[in-house]
Amino acid sequence: MSKLIAILIAVIPIILFLKSVFGRSQAMKRASSELRRQIDYMVWAILFFILCGIVYSVVNLIHPILK
């Protein structure tokens, strides 16, 4: 396990160096931006469904009391 961590620690600077040397193309930047936007929409959708579940639960708790 410690060898794996050591290898990862050694590889990270190499990856960062290669990224800085070659940079990112415009297509890669656009694709990354689009992916982030899609992930944001997915997170908002999940939060919306969680909110719907909470509202449904609260209504089911309150409805018998008001009957």
User: pLDDT means per 10 residues in the chain (67 residues)?
Assistant: 81 81 74 90 96 96 86
Tally Cβ neighbours within 10 Å of residue 8: 9
Q: Which two tokens stand for residue 7?
A: 């290898």
CA 48 to chain centre: 16
pTM of the prediction? 0.57
Sequence letter at residue 24 = R
pLDDT, residue 52, reads 97
d(CA 45, CA 34): 17
d(CA 63, CA 19): 58
